[in-house]
Amino acid sequence: QAAGDMFRRFVRRARAAEPSLNAYVDLAKEEEEDGPTGPVTGLLGGVPLGAKASFCVEGTVSDACSDVLDRYRPPYTATAPARLLESGCRLVGKHNQDEFAMGAANLYSAAGPAVNPHSPGLLDARHKAILTPGGSSGGSAAAVAAGSCLVALGSDTGGSVRLPAAYCGVVGLKPTYGRLSRHGLIAFASSLDTPGVLARCVADAALALDAAAGTDPLDDTTVRQSRIAPEALPTRADIARMLDSPAGQPVSVSSAAAAAPGAFSPALVHARRPTAAGRSAAGPDAPLPEGLRAAIAGKRVGILAECHVAELPEAALRSWQEGARWLEDAGAVVVPVSVPEVRTALPAYYVLAPAEAASNLSRFDGVRYGLRAEGAAPAEGEGDAAGRSTGGLERMYTATRSEGFGPEVQRRILAGNFVLSAEAKSSYYDAAVAARRALRLAMEGLFGQGGVDLVLTPTAPDMPADITAAVKAGQSSGAAVADPLAQYLGDVMTVAANLADLPAVSVPVGMTELSGSGASLPTGLQLMAARQDERTLLHAAAVLE
Ligand code: GLN
């Protein structure tokens, strides 16, 4: 099948879903749909790709959904999307997100809220509720779930790939820090920012990881990769195992999509897991591929006590227990573990991330890119001895930043500058740095000699919130968020992996009924592995999906 046909089909589907999902801020044009029509080649040949608006891609809207960047179109392409495009992927478009990736519900976007394709209000006339897709990579998760792209690039600073993946029922992979280059990803908190992959199944995520990973001279933090054992990445044979491909040959995502066009339903949601108990389309009793069983046998899986928070819904707890049992059935050894340092992860994150953000975002000053607001004219008599205005530039900076940054971004900048200030630094910033160091050491201990190979937790502590009012009002940049601090709690399961540089993945494990409503929503479980051990991580993830 020609690449052009498949690409056109996905672009058409993206367009058709836009009025209800608002997942894209830039979509491929008609002419591009008539692009190359030759046969697809390579494992990722012709695969429809989407990328969060935070990734610079030449000529496309790359504004991190902020008014301060005002639909900026960069003259170059970030390393991660460039590598996927070189591997044969084709860009369907750029995805909606929280402004500068700060948020967990995609409500803080200059482009307005994105919508979860599993919203009962979209799927069933008896329901009204429109739900958040999660954030900050909300548009990416919604697009993959709705089948308008097969692979998407998101970014995960504190959970922004994993949380929306869980809410939308797709796979969300945050690799080890340094595995994927940050070059060309608009910065939020540089020591935590990790490009990640959203896909419909674990094998697709592994293929995309394989194509995008590698040392990049333009991001020195990827230099560590040369010291990473290459066998830590899944191999082609591993990917074949995950797909249970009969010939032992990896099947490319594009050939699967091309061979079975009907497999991607025209409905918004591709229902791969129709029942709560269903492990896969093949049914709950389908035997696990032997190769996968061998890869996971004897691995030790820790059940992290600190994630057993009081707020955890009953259904999430049940999925957690069920997931542990599936891993055990596959031959893994499940053990309870406790890492008290995890309790300080959330507060430490909300000191460190804003501190780094305050510094990174100082470059948006109205001089170099996007928006420039002039501010009020200098008052009479202002100026230096020679009568030259001294306040104009300062005024322009202030006006640009006040107008261009949304309320959440302003909150982070203020918090970040406060924790870095002389009077607060030792009690906030230094304390958070110490907490991060303690957490990293504790995690090293947990995954070290005689410890565990994997940790299993829920991905989200709650169900996706109802955003009907915000969507109806067409509100942008979070005008409708009543309690911004409450949103921070949604990251409680995910931030530890970022602070400790660990690879982590959210895997959809089934549908959970929304209490008594008859509507059901996806549930995700999170796996973490030792630093740089994506291979074990993805094998275990494939057992769960
Ligand atoms: N929700 C978290 C925050 O707002 C995480 C965001 C992210 O991972 N980019 O900071």
> What are the structural domains, with CATH classification, of the chain?
3-343+436-544 (3.90.1300.10), 344-375+389-435 (no CATH)
3-state secondary structure 166-229: HHHCCEEEECCCCCCCCCCECCCCCCCCEEEEEECCHHHHHHHHHHHCCCECCEHHHHHHHHCC
CB atoms within 10 A of CB 29: 10
Task: Report CA(460)–ligand 1 centroid distance (Å).
Answer: 13
Of the candidates 54, 119, 136, 506, the residue annotated as catalytic is: 136
The answer to whether the CB of 136 is under 6 A from ligand 1 is yes
Q: What is the pLDDT of residues 59-71, one digit of tens each?
A: 999 999 999 999 9
Please indicate whether residue 271 or residue 455 has the higher confidence score (pLDDT).
455
Closest CA to 281 of 258, 255, 263: 263
Mean pLDDT, range 105-109, rounded to an integer = 96
Q: What is the pLDDT of residues 493-530, one digit of tens each?
A: 999 999 999 999 999 998 888 777 778 899 999 999 99
The answer to whether the CB of 79 is under 6 A from ligand 1 is no
Q: Reply yes or no on whether 136 is catalytic.
A: yes
Q: What percentage of the chain reaches a pLDDT higher than 90?
A: 67
Distance (Å, rounded) from C-alpha 378 to C-alpha 24? Answer: 41
Please indicate whether residue 294 or residue 55 has the higher confidence score (pLDDT).
55
Contact 158, 192 (CB under 8 A): yes
Q: What is the pLDDT of residues 208-244, one digit of tens each?
A: 999 999 899 999 999 765 565 667 888 888 887 787 6
ipTM of this predicted complex?
0.98
Contact 104, 163 (CB under 8 A): yes
3-state secondary structure 17-69: HHHHHCCEEEECCHHHHCCCCCECCCCCCCCEEEEECCECCCCCCCCCCCCCC
- Give residue 481's pLDDT: 79
Closest CA to 484 of 105, 179, 52: 105
Backbone angles phi, psi at 399, to 5 degrees: -65, -40
The answer to whether the CB of 102 is under 6 A from ligand 1 is yes
- Give residue 33's pLDDT: 56
Q: Is the pTM of this model over 0.90?
A: yes
Please indicate whether residue 248 or residue 452 has the higher confidence score (pLDDT).
452
118: left (phi over 0), alpha (psi -120 to 50) or beta: alpha
Q: In this model, does residue 378 exceed pLDDT 80?
A: no
29: confidence class by pLDDT, cuts 50, 70, 90: confident
Mean pLDDT, range 25-44, rounded to an integer = 70
Q: Reply yes or no on whether 520 is catalytic.
A: no
Please indicate whether residue 336 or residue 224 has the higher confidence score (pLDDT).
336
The answer to whether the CB of 354 is under 6 A from ligand 1 is no
Q: What is the pLDDT of residues 169-212, one digit of tens each?
A: 999 999 999 999 999 999 999 999 999 999 988 989 999 999 99
Of the candidates 62, 66, 87, 160, the residue annotated as catalytic is: 160
Q: Reply yes or no on whether 160 is catalytic.
A: yes
Task: Please measure the distance between the N-terminal and C-terminal CA atoms of the chain and give it in whole angstroms.
Answer: 28
The answer to whether the CB of 158 is under 6 A from ligand 1 is yes
The partner residues of 95 in beta bridges, in order of sequence, read 24, 52
CA distances (Å), origin 273, targets 18, 278, 507, 511: 24, 6, 12, 7
Classified as helix, coil or strand, 3 is helix
The answer to whether the CB of 353 is under 6 A from ligand 1 is yes
Task: Report CA(145)–ligand 1 centroid distance (Å).
Answer: 20
Type of residue at 66: S
Q: What is the pLDDT of residues 413-448, one digit of tens each?
A: 999 999 999 999 999 999 999 999 999 999 999 999
Task: Report CA(125)–ligand 1 centroid distance (Å).
Answer: 33
CA geometry: angle at 393 spanning 387 and 396, to 5°? 130
Q: Whose CA is nearest to atom 5 of ligand 1?
A: 158
Locate the ligand 1 atom nearest the alpha carbon of residue 155 and give its number. 9
Of the candidates 52, 94, 174, 299, the residue annotated as catalytic is: 52
